[in-house]
Amino acid sequence: MIRIGLTGGIGSGKSTVADLFRKRGAHIIDLDVIAHQVEEPGRAAWQGIVEYFGREILDAEGRINREALGGIVFRDRAKLEELNRIVHPAIYDEQRRRINDIRGRDGQAIIISDIPLLIEGGGHKKMDVVILVYVSPDVQIERIMKRNGYTYEEARDRLHSQMPLADKIPLADFVIYNEGTLEEAEAAVEKIWKELLKRNRSQNDKEIKQ
Protein backbone atom coordinates (compact mmCIF):
# COMPACT_ATOMS: atom_id res chain seq x y z
CA MET A 1 0.00 0.00 0.00
CA ILE A 2 1.20 3.51 -0.74
CA ARG A 3 0.22 6.31 1.59
CA ILE A 4 -1.35 9.16 -0.39
CA GLY A 5 -2.28 12.57 0.96
CA LEU A 6 -4.48 15.02 -0.93
CA THR A 7 -4.36 18.60 0.28
CA GLY A 8 -5.06 22.15 -0.79
CA GLY A 9 -6.66 25.13 0.84
CA ILE A 10 -10.06 26.62 1.42
CA GLY A 11 -11.67 27.40 -1.93
CA SER A 12 -9.15 25.39 -3.95
CA GLY A 13 -11.68 22.84 -5.21
CA LYS A 14 -10.08 19.93 -3.38
CA SER A 15 -13.42 18.17 -2.85
CA THR A 16 -14.05 18.20 -6.60
CA VAL A 17 -10.64 16.67 -7.22
CA ALA A 18 -11.26 14.03 -4.54
CA ASP A 19 -14.50 13.07 -6.30
CA LEU A 20 -12.62 12.66 -9.59
CA PHE A 21 -10.21 10.23 -7.92
CA ARG A 22 -13.16 8.42 -6.32
CA LYS A 23 -14.74 7.96 -9.76
CA ARG A 24 -11.58 6.15 -10.84
CA GLY A 25 -11.73 3.70 -7.97
CA ALA A 26 -9.83 5.39 -5.16
CA HIS A 27 -11.03 5.05 -1.58
CA ILE A 28 -11.27 8.59 -0.20
CA ILE A 29 -10.96 9.21 3.53
CA ASP A 30 -12.15 12.78 4.09
CA LEU A 31 -10.70 14.08 7.34
CA ASP A 32 -13.01 17.10 7.25
CA VAL A 33 -15.99 14.72 7.39
CA ILE A 34 -14.35 12.79 10.21
CA ALA A 35 -13.80 16.09 12.07
CA HIS A 36 -17.55 16.71 12.01
CA GLN A 37 -18.20 13.22 13.33
CA VAL A 38 -15.73 13.34 16.23
CA GLU A 39 -17.24 16.69 17.27
CA GLU A 40 -20.71 15.22 17.72
CA PRO A 41 -22.27 15.95 21.15
CA GLY A 42 -20.89 13.79 23.92
CA ARG A 43 -17.79 12.63 22.09
CA ALA A 44 -14.33 13.38 23.48
CA ALA A 45 -13.47 16.12 20.99
CA TRP A 46 -16.84 17.82 21.62
CA GLN A 47 -16.18 17.83 25.34
CA GLY A 48 -12.70 19.26 24.92
CA ILE A 49 -13.94 22.03 22.64
CA VAL A 50 -16.75 23.01 24.99
CA GLU A 51 -14.43 23.02 27.99
CA TYR A 52 -12.00 25.35 26.25
CA PHE A 53 -14.30 27.63 24.25
CA GLY A 54 -17.40 27.59 26.46
CA ARG A 55 -21.00 26.63 25.75
CA GLU A 56 -21.50 29.86 23.82
CA ILE A 57 -20.25 28.08 20.69
CA LEU A 58 -23.13 25.53 20.86
CA ASP A 59 -26.41 25.82 19.00
CA ALA A 60 -29.83 25.23 20.50
CA GLU A 61 -29.46 21.46 20.05
CA GLY A 62 -26.10 21.32 21.80
CA ARG A 63 -24.09 20.88 18.62
CA ILE A 64 -21.00 22.92 17.86
CA ASN A 65 -21.83 25.97 15.79
CA ARG A 66 -18.95 25.77 13.34
CA GLU A 67 -19.55 29.26 12.00
CA ALA A 68 -19.32 30.74 15.50
CA LEU A 69 -16.26 28.63 16.31
CA GLY A 70 -14.64 29.58 13.02
CA GLY A 71 -15.24 33.24 13.73
CA ILE A 72 -13.14 32.82 16.89
CA VAL A 73 -10.27 30.64 15.73
CA PHE A 74 -9.68 32.20 12.32
CA ARG A 75 -8.87 35.50 14.02
CA ASP A 76 -6.64 33.99 16.71
CA ARG A 77 -3.86 31.58 15.72
CA ALA A 78 -3.28 30.42 19.33
CA LYS A 79 -6.93 29.39 19.65
CA LEU A 80 -6.80 27.68 16.26
CA GLU A 81 -3.78 25.69 17.40
CA GLU A 82 -5.61 24.73 20.60
CA LEU A 83 -8.62 23.58 18.60
CA ASN A 84 -6.35 21.42 16.45
CA ARG A 85 -4.68 19.98 19.56
CA ILE A 86 -8.09 18.94 20.89
CA VAL A 87 -9.50 17.51 17.67
CA HIS A 88 -6.59 16.02 15.72
CA PRO A 89 -5.89 12.93 17.90
CA ALA A 90 -9.48 11.74 17.53
CA ILE A 91 -9.45 12.44 13.78
CA TYR A 92 -6.24 10.50 13.13
CA ASP A 93 -7.38 7.56 15.27
CA GLU A 94 -10.50 7.27 13.11
CA GLN A 95 -8.44 7.67 9.93
CA ARG A 96 -6.21 4.74 10.91
CA ARG A 97 -9.24 2.62 11.74
CA ARG A 98 -10.76 3.28 8.31
CA ILE A 99 -7.48 2.56 6.49
CA ASN A 100 -7.16 -0.77 8.29
CA ASP A 101 -10.78 -1.61 7.49
CA ILE A 102 -10.33 -0.88 3.76
CA ARG A 103 -7.06 -2.81 3.60
CA GLY A 104 -8.74 -5.75 5.31
CA ARG A 105 -11.33 -5.87 2.53
CA ASP A 106 -9.06 -5.03 -0.41
CA GLY A 107 -5.32 -5.48 -0.18
CA GLN A 108 -4.84 -3.75 -3.54
CA ALA A 109 -6.85 -0.66 -2.64
CA ILE A 110 -5.61 2.81 -3.41
CA ILE A 111 -6.50 4.94 -0.40
CA ILE A 112 -6.29 8.72 -0.58
CA SER A 113 -6.55 10.70 2.64
CA ASP A 114 -8.08 14.12 1.99
CA ILE A 115 -6.37 16.28 4.64
CA PRO A 116 -6.77 20.07 4.58
CA LEU A 117 -3.87 20.70 7.00
CA LEU A 118 -1.64 17.86 5.80
CA ILE A 119 1.45 20.03 5.41
CA GLU A 120 0.77 22.42 8.30
CA GLY A 121 0.63 19.45 10.66
CA GLY A 122 3.72 17.76 9.22
CA GLY A 123 1.69 14.80 8.01
CA HIS A 124 3.17 15.05 4.52
CA LYS A 125 6.39 13.56 5.91
CA LYS A 126 4.53 10.30 6.55
CA MET A 127 3.11 10.08 3.03
CA ASP A 128 4.57 8.31 0.03
CA VAL A 129 2.74 10.68 -2.31
CA VAL A 130 1.47 14.22 -1.72
CA ILE A 131 -1.02 15.75 -4.16
CA LEU A 132 -1.67 19.49 -3.91
CA VAL A 133 -4.66 21.29 -5.41
CA TYR A 134 -3.59 24.85 -6.17
CA VAL A 135 -5.38 28.08 -7.05
CA SER A 136 -4.25 31.67 -6.55
CA PRO A 137 -5.20 33.55 -3.36
CA ASP A 138 -7.49 35.87 -5.31
CA VAL A 139 -9.42 32.90 -6.66
CA GLN A 140 -9.62 31.38 -3.18
CA ILE A 141 -11.14 34.54 -1.73
CA GLU A 142 -13.57 34.90 -4.63
CA ARG A 143 -14.76 31.30 -4.22
CA ILE A 144 -15.06 31.55 -0.43
CA MET A 145 -17.16 34.70 -0.68
CA LYS A 146 -19.42 33.17 -3.32
CA ARG A 147 -19.78 29.77 -1.62
CA ASN A 148 -20.20 30.87 2.00
CA GLY A 149 -21.60 34.36 1.64
CA TYR A 150 -18.66 35.83 3.56
CA THR A 151 -17.49 39.40 3.35
CA TYR A 152 -14.07 40.04 1.84
CA GLU A 153 -12.62 40.48 5.33
CA GLU A 154 -14.11 37.20 6.59
CA ALA A 155 -12.82 35.30 3.58
CA ARG A 156 -9.40 36.90 3.94
CA ASP A 157 -9.21 35.95 7.65
CA ARG A 158 -9.92 32.32 6.84
CA LEU A 159 -7.39 32.32 4.05
CA HIS A 160 -4.70 33.89 6.23
CA SER A 161 -5.22 31.24 8.91
CA GLN A 162 -3.74 28.68 6.50
CA MET A 163 -0.29 28.25 5.03
CA PRO A 164 -0.15 29.87 1.56
CA LEU A 165 -0.66 27.31 -1.19
CA ALA A 166 2.40 28.63 -3.04
CA ASP A 167 4.55 27.61 -0.07
CA LYS A 168 3.23 24.05 -0.31
CA ILE A 169 4.20 23.50 -3.95
CA PRO A 170 7.83 22.43 -3.23
CA LEU A 171 6.54 19.83 -0.74
CA ALA A 172 4.14 18.16 -3.18
CA ASP A 173 4.83 15.30 -5.59
CA PHE A 174 1.99 16.37 -7.88
CA VAL A 175 0.29 19.75 -8.26
CA ILE A 176 -3.13 20.14 -9.84
CA TYR A 177 -3.67 23.73 -10.98
CA ASN A 178 -7.42 24.06 -10.55
CA GLU A 179 -8.44 27.42 -11.98
CA GLY A 180 -9.53 26.04 -15.33
CA THR A 181 -12.41 23.88 -16.53
CA LEU A 182 -13.60 20.60 -15.08
CA GLU A 183 -12.26 18.88 -18.17
CA GLU A 184 -8.79 20.23 -17.43
CA ALA A 185 -9.03 18.96 -13.86
CA GLU A 186 -10.17 15.56 -15.18
CA ALA A 187 -7.12 15.36 -17.45
CA ALA A 188 -4.75 16.23 -14.61
CA VAL A 189 -6.35 13.65 -12.30
CA GLU A 190 -6.25 10.96 -14.98
CA LYS A 191 -2.53 11.47 -15.52
CA ILE A 192 -1.82 11.25 -11.80
CA TRP A 193 -4.14 8.26 -11.37
CA LYS A 194 -2.16 6.23 -13.90
CA GLU A 195 1.02 6.97 -11.97
CA LEU A 196 -0.63 6.00 -8.67
CA LEU A 197 -1.73 2.67 -10.14
CA LYS A 198 1.82 1.99 -11.25
CA ARG A 199 3.35 2.91 -7.91
CA ASN A 200 0.76 0.91 -5.99
CA ARG A 201 1.43 -2.23 -8.07
CA SER A 202 5.16 -1.83 -7.53
CA GLN A 203 4.73 -1.43 -3.77
CA ASN A 204 2.39 -4.42 -3.54
CA ASP A 205 4.90 -6.56 -5.45
CA LYS A 206 7.61 -5.57 -2.97
CA GLU A 207 5.39 -6.45 -0.02
CA ILE A 208 4.60 -9.86 -1.51
CA LYS A 209 8.26 -10.64 -2.06
CA GLN A 210 9.07 -9.72 1.51
pLDDT band per the 50, 70, 90 thresholds, residue 161: confident
Residue 16 has pLDDT above 80, yes or no: yes
- For residue 87, what pLDDT is reported? 92
In the prediction, which pLDDT does 203 show? 80
**pLDDT band for position 150 (50/70/90)?**
very high
Architecture (CATH level 2) of domain 32-108? 3-Layer(aba) Sandwich (3.40)
Q: Report, as an integer, the average pLDDT of 12-38.
A: 95
Same fold, 1-26+110-210 and 32-108: yes
pLDDT at 136: 96
Question: Residue ranges of the domains in the chain?
Answer: 1-26+110-210, 32-108
* Tens digits of residue pLDDT in 168-198: 999 999 999 999 999 999 999 999 999 999 9
Those residues whose C-beta lies under 8 Å from the C-beta of residue 45, and which sit 6 or more positions away, are 38, 39, 86, 87, 90, 91
Supply the CATH classification number for the domain 1-26+110-210: 3.40.50.300
pLDDT of 193: 98
The residues, ordered by sequence, that sit 6+ positions from 90 with a Cβ below 8 Å of its Cβ are 38, 43, 44, 45
The chain-wide mean pLDDT, for the chain, equals: 92
* Interatomic CA distance for residues 123 and 129, integer angstroms: 11
Q: Which residues pair with 4 in a beta bridge?
A: 112, 129
The stretch 159-167 carries a mean pLDDT of: 91
Pairwise CA distance, residues 200 & 197, whole Å: 5
Quote the pLDDT of residue 75.
Answer: 85
The pLDDT assigned to 120 comes to 87
Query: What would the pLDDT profile of 17-26 be if each residue is shown by its tens digit?
Result: 999 999 999 9
> Residue 53 contacts by C-beta under 8 Å, 6 or more apart in sequence?
69, 72, 79, 83
| Residues 114, 123 contacting (CB under 8 angstroms) | no
pLDDT of 2 above 90: no
